[in-house]
Structure 1
């Protein structure tokens, strides 16, 4: 039985065939899951034409409904059960989360909404909100080389197990393995070892470390990483222990191995961490492939 029974595609009012739509249809067909598509039209998109009033809103909604129903008819011809909806709202995030809960979605799929760095300073992107607040996995799609992924990468972190989200590495690997099996894709396991971060966290600011300290930490982490990979049956040629910052390591790996999906854990941060954003959030704008975020929780 497939791990996906109900897929939820969040679409915008662009009325075009997007990468997320193509990916959602492909996964639905491969897993025999039902697909629900909602086009969310935010009021802010209509402010410039506010003088048109209710008549314009109605025309905009009807145009999207017709386009979406035409797309749904094409999807149904492939034997996929699909339902559609167009919603004009001022609270897209709250509506999306409500839909997830009401339909008991197994996976939310959405196109990446690219925002400038300057805009992200003042406004938290919707994608980031979904990563932080959505209770089910979120698949954010930026491009699709093949309808179904061919290379799925589980990005894990075996360091500092006492401060890690309980079971997050297991959740990441299980989600990645499930997706890879459903799509007949290769599963790879990757850890980005950042010596500077490890040194600072283990030694403490201003501390003097013994010669060979960094090498010993690296060997210990690599041993833990290999044990984790072996536990899940990931073959040696698909185990990647890379020395670099997470963003650079993931970007380089995705480019060199033509990775389609990187599965990552996403923590719910509080305080400063919530404002800065998690590694998963920033990777959205750095890595030339698609993100699949498994939700977790953190206290920092």
Structure 2
């Protein structure tokens, strides 16, 4: 794969207020390891600026332009600190937009980053991730790989799980699994991590099978299905030279199986795919369910079919 040239980190007011966010930590980590350009970006909007209740004096003093100047000044401070401390190439920008995701998408369209990183909040007490409207919109529409940074830890294990489903018609037609593997393999190689390929097989429930094939062997059906999935998976992985001990096939519901496996290997990052078929409702996220995004406590990387091309020779011993 080629080097990642530009990483876009979307920050919030918290980061400007000197409250560190996982997204910035990941961006610095990846940029440092890959020699990529790091761009820091804030998209904000405060409706209180447009209400007369805040008073004429305050309204005159605090206009969007005032906030943008403040944000740019603070971003410049952060950029200079990172450039000096980490020896990184860092730039920054800020935008005022009624809808945060519009500002972010305009930035993505402008600079065409190879990777975007944004912090999302995971409540360990509730075992839930607190997605907002902007998060879901980006998951559905962001054209570049989108990393959702949850964990406060700095990828201590560097175990990267790539979720693939070669039996999924949409993903197969659009090369989604290949995109997932390539970016996961690239990250594992560049960050000296450990790559795991994960696939789950959900068999037809036995009562339904009995109605569909009266008198047929359910065990034979399961064996035939598993062999078919293994064949498809082997064909998918053949070009990548990934060692067999890094390939994992689970049997059961994909969402629950993935959550269990990610916990088993103490994953730092799970890479999965999203295919949008025309409307926001018709979104397929690999072979998983919405609950996976919600319940995973580690970082998540959402990949769309055929992202910006990245190719590089990867050495097998890193994964084998």
Same fold by TM-score greater than 0.5 = yes
In structure 2, runs of 5+ residues without a counterpart are 307-320
Q: Which moved more, 1:125-134 or 1:172-181?
A: 125-134
Contact in 2 for aligned 1:229/1:239 (Cα 8 Å): no
Deviations 1:159-187 (A, max 9, x none): 15477342211111111111111111111
Deviations 1:115-136 (A, max 9, x none): 99xxx9xx97212211221111
Partner of 2:310: none
Contact in 1 for aligned 2:147/2:302 (Cα 8 Å): yes
Structure 2 residue corresponding to 1:83, chosen from 62, 86, 91: 91
CA-CA distance at 1:231 after TM superposition = 3.7
CA-CA distance at 1:155 after TM superposition = 0.5
Q: Which moved more, 1:4-13 or 1:272-281?
A: 272-281
Over 3 Å counting, the alpha-carbon distance change for 1:196 and 1:63 in structure 2 is farther
CA-CA distance at 1:144 after TM superposition = 4.4
Matched, 1:171 2:179: yes
Over 3 Å counting, the alpha-carbon distance change for 1:133 and 1:166 in structure 2 is same
CA-CA distance at 1:225 after TM superposition = 2.0
Partner of 1:285: 294
Contact in 2 for aligned 1:264/1:280 (Cα 8 Å): no
Matches for 1:1-300 after TM superposition, within 5 Å:
2-15=2-15, 16-44=19-47, 51=54, 52-57=58-63, 60-77=67-84, 78-112=86-120, 125-146=133-154, 150-161=158-169, 164-196=172-204, 207-208=212-213, 210-211=216-217, 212-270=220-278, 273-274=281-282, 279=288, 281-296=290-305
Contact in 1 for aligned 2:179/2:305 (Cα 8 Å): no
Contact in 1 for aligned 2:251/2:257 (Cα 8 Å): yes
Over 3 Å counting, the alpha-carbon distance change for 1:2 and 1:167 in structure 2 is closer
Tell me, in whole angstroms, the C-alpha distance in 1 between the residues paired with 2:160 and 2:284: 27
Tell me, in whole angstroms, the C-alpha distance in 2 between the residues paired with 1:87 and 1:50: 24
Over 3 Å counting, the alpha-carbon distance change for 1:249 and 1:14 in structure 2 is same
Over 3 Å counting, the alpha-carbon distance change for 1:172 and 1:276 in structure 2 is closer
CA-CA distance at 1:270 after TM superposition = 3.8
Deviations 1:263-296 (A, max 9, x none): 1111113458438977465422111211111113
Over 3 Å counting, the alpha-carbon distance change for 1:179 and 1:48 in structure 2 is farther
Contact in 2 for aligned 1:168/1:265 (Cα 8 Å): yes
Over 3 Å counting, the alpha-carbon distance change for 1:199 and 1:32 in structure 2 is farther
Between the two structures, name the one with larger relative contact order (CA 8 Å, sep ≥ 6).
2
Over 3 Å counting, the alpha-carbon distance change for 1:43 and 1:175 in structure 2 is same
Over 3 Å counting, the alpha-carbon distance change for 1:163 and 1:259 in structure 2 is closer
Q: Figure out how many residues of one structure are paired with residues of the other and give that number.
A: 292
TM-score by length of 2: 0.78
Contact in 2 for aligned 1:152/1:261 (Cα 8 Å): yes
Over 3 Å counting, the alpha-carbon distance change for 1:42 and 1:238 in structure 2 is same
Contact in 1 for aligned 2:4/2:114 (Cα 8 Å): yes
Contact in 1 for aligned 2:33/2:190 (Cα 8 Å): yes
> Alignment partner of 1:172: what SS?
helix
Contact in 2 for aligned 1:6/1:107 (Cα 8 Å): yes
